[in-house]
Structure 1
Amino acid sequence: MDKIAVVILNWNGVKLLEQFLLSVVNFSPEATIYVADNASTDASITYVKEHFPTVKIVVNAGNYGFAHGYNEALQHIDAEIYALINSDIEVTENWLQPILDTFAKEPKTAIIQPKILDYKNKSHFEYAGAAGGFIDKYGYPFCRGRIFETIEKDNKQYDDNCELFWASGACFFIRSTIFKNLKGFDEVFFAHQEEIDLCWRAINLGHTIKYNSQSIVYHVGGATLQQSNPRKTYLNFRNSLLMLTKNLPKRGFYGILFVRMILDGIAGIRFLTQGKFNHTWAILQAHFSFYSLFSKYYKKRSNFQTQEYYMIKSIVFLYYVKKIHVFKDIFNNNQINNP
């Protein structure tokens, strides 16, 4: 068994492999490196074999997306720790050792995220994860260093190693035993928010999620689906509702879900006023899909839901009404909510 396996999920991403795989190979001496390929039709596999013969390849039978793709590939990878990284990630020297040290010292820590900076603007945090994630009462995610569209400059304000609610799937470290015990990612999600769901399930079982600022990576972001893509809107809204159904505590379950659906409706109206009709339709489709899956997902609920899952009651209210756009201002304005 390997100590750590770095696993890069790929689908027709030969250009990204050409750009970023070298940094992973050069700066990961502690790891065995894998490319998990979702049945690419480009030259991805040929490129890896010709230029990086030490990198191992696992080929899935189809394009299974992020969730199913990783679930399938990791069945063939034997390691104590999985480092799941996007193909558009540039790693830095010594990015693995701080993570390995934390896992060694903290047996309750199941999942870790590094500091994720923007490859295109390296002085700033990157949208998909930044310095670690949280959610509000209604399931809206936000990060230290990124709330909705406000992205902070990295002034070392988050150079601590704190506990999180969720770690970004762009660069996601997890103990293999925990991943298997949780039965991996929820494959219905396909992509988007499956990592938050997995982290929530881990927390419900008493595990801890951590952020480690000594490990730094740079993420391009949007290499699979751009923020402007209605498919991304559909997956984010639908998957968030499914996640809430599975993981919300019993107390207030229906009320929280009802408020969330109203807030989604307001988001749909906002898209309409911006002329983004495809995004409004994507939210409607997300809700229709959620209704069809509700009964199935309600049956997935366990008896271990924690009441203490959210940091603040409504990030939507704080951001759009109170105009709090920076994570540290949540504390400065005494907005922390006790569930």
Structure 2
Amino acid sequence: MKVVPRVTLVVIAYGQPDLLEALLDSIADHTPEAHEILVVDNASPDDTYERAARHRTQPRLIKANRNLGYGGGANLGVRASNSDVVIIMNSDLEVTEGWLSPLLRPIETNSAVIAAPLYVDETDKVVESGASLTADGHVHPAQMASTGLAPVDHVSAACWAVKRTWFQRMGGFDPSYGLGYFEDVDLCAVAAANKEVVVVVNESRVVHRTGASFSSTAVQRLSHRNHARAETRWYWMRRGTQENPWPGETAICHGRVAVIGHHPKVVSQLRSRNISVAVLDKANDLSHRPNRDDVVVAESELSTVAALAPRAEITTPEDLENALRRAGIAPSSTPPRPRFSSIATTRSRRW
């Protein structure tokens, strides 16, 4: 008699077959609950598909004809799943003992619409326990374990439990975000707009090798674009939550620049063109602004700047215009305006 799976584990993979095999091994070792595994191969340029097909877990396989991005691959996998509860998973994870049942519980009992585990590294140190969102569109991750269910504004979609029916009703991940991230920020905002709950399940732990797939310069530029899209789309909902510890920063802007040191002409020029500017005394101050800036202007301590602001374009005052272009920022004396009609149009699209 065929066992009906309690959950479908939808794994989105693009290259890096060693990571995928490590995830599948960990699922085999730590998942006694009835489940099926569905691997969506996003047109990997190597032998990822073939190695997944040979794995002892015998996953179902879907091979996309092109790289759909994480969101597009997840949409494809959820649509093909055979259970009402689905866990969307990145291939750079490893699950741990007892991870699954606590993660499913809030979804099966309708306590939340999105549930994610506590993300830890290989030493069991917490790397993400959810995040808060502010009106400028930035994500401020927390790294602190608690107990039970922790409601959050956002949590990385590296491992999300959802009901397939809810995911489909919301339209899945918005395909307009493409390959550049923020589709999970957007769907968490959709949940919040519908007064639904997103939680981190502290009793479930999953190892996440953060940043394993965030290496391409082109993808980093797409991330800048998608940050601007998410900020514009959801400012109306987050406008009362702006955290603004740096004088001069604004929520509605064409982009964000951190200027290290004394450069009053640069600051004045940027602000006159509706770019939000934070003036920092030293490079180490960037440690208080995780992933916040599109461009960092600095003349020294460049290695420190690169380490603390890995997603930013780093430039000198003399090359600032080129750096703004590389970051996808179009300065203008006219401030940006949220286009609310386009929000409804985009989010009403289904797969």
Q: TM-score, normalised by structure 1?
A: 0.73
Percentage identity across paired residues of the two chains: 22
Higher alpha-carbon Rg:
2
Q: CA deviation at 1:271?
A: 4.7
String of CA shifts for 1:6-52, please: whole Å, max 9, x gaps: 11111122121232310012222332111110112322222222222
Give me the whole-angstrom Cα distance separating, in 1, the residues matched to 2:65 and 2:126. Answer: 35
Q: Give the aligned residue type for 1:36.
A: V
Give me the whole-angstrom Cα distance separating, in 2, the residues matched to 1:193 and 1:185. Answer: 10
Give me the whole-angstrom Cα distance separating, in 1, the residues matched to 2:232 and 2:82. Answer: 32
Name 2:230's counterpart in structure 1.
243
String of CA shifts for 1:121-163, please: whole Å, max 9, x gaps: x24222xxx1111112312111221xxxxxxxx6xx4234211
- Structure 2 residue 171 is matched with structure 1 residue 183: yes
Q: CA deviation at 1:290?
A: 11
Give me the whole-angstrom Cα distance separating, in 2, the residues matched to 1:212 and 1:12. Answer: 29
- Structure 2 residue 249 is matched with structure 1 residue 258: no
Which one of 21, 24, 45 corresponds to residue 21 of structure 1? Answer: 24
Q: Give the aligned residue type for 2:13.
A: N
Assess if the C-alpha contact under 8 Å between 1:234 and 1:282 holds in 2: no
Task: Say if 1:63 and 1:123 are closer, same or farther in 2 by CA, change over 3 A.
Answer: same
* Within-5 A mapping of 1:138-287: 138-145=136-143, 157-189=145-177, 190-226=179-215, 230-249=217-236, 256-258=251-253, 261=256, 262-263=275-276, 267-268=293-294, 270-273=296-299, 275=302, 278-279=313-314, 284-287=325-328
Assess if the C-alpha contact under 8 Å between 2:113 and 2:163 holds in 1: yes
Higher RCO (CA < 8 A, seq sep 6+): 1
Name 2:342's counterpart in structure 1.
300
- Structure 2 residue 11 is matched with structure 1 residue 11: no
String of CA shifts for 1:95-146, please: whole Å, max 9, x gaps: 11002222233x2510011110012xx24222xxx1111112312111221x
Q: How many pairs are equivalent? A: 282
- Structure 2 residue 135 is matched with structure 1 residue 125: no
Assess if the C-alpha contact under 8 Å between 2:7 and 2:86 holds in 1: yes
Q: CA deviation at 1:53?
A: 5.2
RMSD between aligned residues: 3.1
Q: CA deviation at 1:297?
A: 6.0
Q: Which secondary structure does the structure 2 equivalent of 1:196 belong to?
A: helix
**Structure 2 unaligned blocks of 5 or more:** 241-249, 257-274, 280-292, 307-311, 316-321, 346-351
Assess if the C-alpha contact under 8 Å between 2:13 and 2:39 holds in 1: yes
Q: Give the aligned residue type for 1:263.
A: S
Assess if the C-alpha contact under 8 Å between 1:241 and 1:290 holds in 2: no
Which one of 82, 93, 100 corresponds to residue 89 of structure 1? Answer: 93
Assess if the C-alpha contact under 8 Å between 1:238 and 1:289 holds in 2: no
Give me the whole-angstrom Cα distance separating, in 1, the residues matched to 2:222 and 2:48. Answer: 26
Q: CA deviation at 1:283?
A: 5.4
Task: Say if 1:216 and 1:225 are closer, same or farther in 2 by CA, change over 3 A.
Answer: same
String of CA shifts for 1:294-321, please: whole Å, max 9, x gaps: 8996433249xxxxxxxxxxxxxxxxxx
Q: TM-score, normalised by structure 2?
A: 0.70
Task: Say if 1:159 and 1:264 are closer, same or farther in 2 by CA, change over 3 A.
Answer: farther
Task: Say if 1:123 and 1:16 are closer, same or farther in 2 by CA, change over 3 A.
Answer: closer
Give me the whole-angstrom Cα distance separating, in 1, the residues matched to 2:313 and 2:155. Answer: 29
Assess if the C-alpha contact under 8 Å between 1:67 and 1:194 holds in 2: yes
Q: Give the aligned residue type for 1:109.
A: A
Q: CA deviation at 1:233?
A: 3.6
Task: Say if 1:283 and 1:76 are closer, same or farther in 2 by CA, change over 3 A.
Answer: farther
Give me the whole-angstrom Cα distance separating, in 2, the residues matched to 1:265 and 1:282. Answer: 16
Q: Which secondary structure does the structure 1 equivalent of 2:166 belong to?
A: helix
